[in-house]
Structure 1
Amino acid sequence: MKIQELRTLLSASDRAHLEKAFAECYKQLRKAQKEEIDSVLIGILEGKSMEKKKTGDSIDFEELEQQITAFMKNAYDQNYFVPNRIIPKSQRPKWRFMVKNFIKELEKIPPENDNYQKAVKLLTDLYQLICEACNYYLFSTDDPFRSIGWEQPAFFELLVKKTFAAGYSRENISLLLLYATTGGLSREALHVYQEIILLNSLKTSDVSYMAMEEAKKLIDERTKKLSSLQKYDSQRYYLESEIDELCSMILLTAIKLAEPEQGIDYYFKHSTRTDKEITLYRALDLISRIDDNDLWMKVYEYGIQKKIKPRDDLIRTYEKLKKEIP
């Protein structure tokens, strides 16, 4: 019932019934809830005025953290997917509602809350879990993001917003670069969606340069690992994919900083594609997403200078743009 309805009901009841109802309600509270409410009750009974609680204080964070930690362990153990004695069959489909509620509760916690950093870490862990579930069956679904009612870019945007609300640092930028360019994808997402979201969250040139530096470090680390692998090692595909996505992030950031030449040179130099025509195609596809025809033509001409022969549809697009742009 609503608070006004409760007040009306209380005003019409005698004291004996009120005391009994109050005591029974108090018994239903968990220990942590009792400890939290005791000071409020004592204050009211002593006639003290109650200060309005800050947003997020109503969340029993310790309990929420325990619930999320336990949930994630069971998820990674596939207890929501395969038959087991830990999660009853009837409870397994409820994982999606649990995740939705976890996100909702974590989203409420403001930066000034003492548990804010822990909340961001838990939100990050949940995002990584759902990404992992896109690659491996942890739940009975083909698209975990859709199952929890979130589009992957929107969830990532929330994660970026919450992470940067506590300030920019090389560490959190580096981690977000990894989350944007690697990991599982929903059926309706591409890494570039997350990359553009992260790019738009780099609010100053200093932060953008920092992101480029961190991306280059990540590429160097992966290039070093790549050089130590055998030709047909299964890890090569994943490392090469990560390098290429990080190159895309560097190109996008260089464009944002009005230094496209630097980004283009780096992109073509560090792309792992042996077929340079594919490198050109991917670079042009990336630029088409930011709707810059002048730059598209510039990259195309850069490829021609590098003696790359573009595919027919790229040639047609270039000729069309050349006629349209004075």
Structure 2
Amino acid sequence: MKVPELREKLTKLKKEELIKLAVEFYKLVPKSKKEDNDLDKLIENPTQPKAVKQTNTSIDWEELEQEINEFISNAKEQYYVYPNKIVSKKERSTWRFKVKKWYKLLTNTKQKDVNPELQVKLAINLYELLCEGCDYMYFSSNDPFQSIQVEQRIFFKSLIVLIQEKIGKSESVDKGIELIVNNSLDRSTLKTYLAFELIATLQIPDLKERGIKKVEQLLEENKLHYENLAKELEDKKDKKGRVIRDYGLAEKRRKLEYNIETINNDLTLIGLLFYESLYRIKDGIAFYNAHYTEKDEIKLYILINEIFKDEYKNEIKSEIERAIQNGIEPRKALLNTLKIINDGEKLPRRMPW
């Protein structure tokens, strides 16, 4: 129905019918559209001329930085979850529209009126807040990325492209790996998904080599960090040299070992993907075997699952057979994979069970 037809039909309706129809129309309009078009103001004053959207409006980046920093601070204080005097009830329910608007603004690589470092910094700060929000109750939703209707891997890729455009591709490699390793994930994302997004933006082999060096650097830093913290958590002894039993220290050591091992394994898988992108799968497998920490059979399964492609049949066969020779008992899925390869068949898209 066209607007003139609508007007004609509305003129024939009674007042009660118009009110009912207006209410139903209002219910159908999404919250974001109501805010974008100032629908409430239009209802309060229908005769007021419609505001014309200004184009090329300059942005006060100093004010925006202050606004985003305040938002991040309030979120970490959980002011968007529980009633308080700092963040109003309305703001607590509409934060996602504000964040999505900032996301579009900050990841726009064509922004001209801003210091590039500031734009990148604010975009990263916002991304890291949403990552934290996947682990901590900063918002009523336990998946902030879903709330703003932007997948984590999409936000991450936008960040990488922004860094490449504003600062440089070399910096995007280093920062990209750090962002993957140091931040939490939503329910539908894996660290390797983000690594794929990063590697897909790198066309020059030198940049991929840089990725391997960055991974090796972080592995070494991770090792030194563990050694330093482990010294602080060593058993305390009394004056006679006897060990004082401290269950708290033992628990802290277990948590430290788990956290360090998790970071170590994340970095190892990222390194494997960089080697694969350079068509150096054998070097990648050697790197994986040298650095990944897990029980032997699980470690084998994770490796085969990561490189499960028909083009790597020889490498897969070699790794499974070597494991068997070393006394490891592979699970059924791995044995079925070995049988398919020995029978000369093509590997399926996914590992068989």
With the shorter chain as reference, the TM-score category is 0.7 to 0.9
TM-score normalised by the chain length of structure 2 = 0.71
Contact 1:191 1:245 in 2 (8 A): yes
Letter in 1 for 2:304: L
Gaps of 5+ in 2: 1-48, 234-249, 348-353
**What displacement does 1:314 show?**
1.2
Contact 1:280 1:300 in 2 (8 A): no
| Residue 280 in structure 1 maps to residue 297 in structure 2 | no
Letter in 2 for 1:279: K
Letter in 2 for 1:91: E
State how far apart, in whole Å, the 2-side matches of 1:221 and 1:287 are: 27
Q: Out of 318, 323, 327, which is 1:301 matched to?
A: 318
State how far apart, in whole Å, the 1-side matches of 2:81 and 2:69 are: 18
**What displacement does 1:115 show?**
2.0
Contact 1:80 1:92 in 2 (8 A): yes
Deviations 1:178-200 (A, max 9, x none): 21234211111111110111111
Letter in 1 for 2:82: V
State how far apart, in whole Å, the 2-side matches of 1:117 and 1:318 are: 51
CA separation of 1:176 and 1:102: change in aligned 2, threshold 3 A: same
CA RMSD of aligned residues (A): 2.4
Deviations 1:230-288 (A, max 9, x none): 56421222221111111011111111112111111111111121x11111111122223
Deviations 1:87-118 (A, max 9, x none): 12232111111110111111335265542221
Determine the structure 2 residue equivalent to 1:32: none
How many residue pairs align between the two structures? 270
State how far apart, in whole Å, the 1-side matches of 2:111 and 2:74 are: 29
Which secondary structure state, in structure 1, belongs to the residue aligned with residue 134 of structure 2?
helix
**What displacement does 1:139 show?**
0.5
Contact 1:110 1:116 in 2 (8 A): no
| Residue 167 in structure 1 maps to residue 188 in structure 2 | no
Determine the structure 1 residue equivalent to 2:269: 248
| Residue 237 in structure 1 maps to residue 238 in structure 2 | no
| Residue 87 in structure 1 maps to residue 123 in structure 2 | no
Determine the structure 2 residue equivalent to 1:316: 336
Letter in 2 for 1:313: A
Overall identity of the aligned pairs, in %: 31
CA separation of 1:221 and 1:296: change in aligned 2, threshold 3 A: farther
Determine the structure 2 residue equivalent to 1:271: 292
Which secondary structure state, in structure 2, belongs to the residue aligned with residue 210 of structure 1?
helix
State how far apart, in whole Å, the 2-side matches of 1:200 and 1:128 are: 22
Gaps of 5+ in 1: 1-24, 29-36, 38-52
State how far apart, in whole Å, the 2-side matches of 1:127 and 1:300 are: 41
| Residue 218 in structure 1 maps to residue 218 in structure 2 | yes
**What displacement does 1:58 show?**
2.8
Which secondary structure state, in structure 2, belongs to the residue aligned with residue 108 of structure 1?
coil
State how far apart, in whole Å, the 2-side matches of 1:164 and 1:296 are: 36
State how far apart, in whole Å, the 2-side matches of 1:226 and 1:320 are: 42
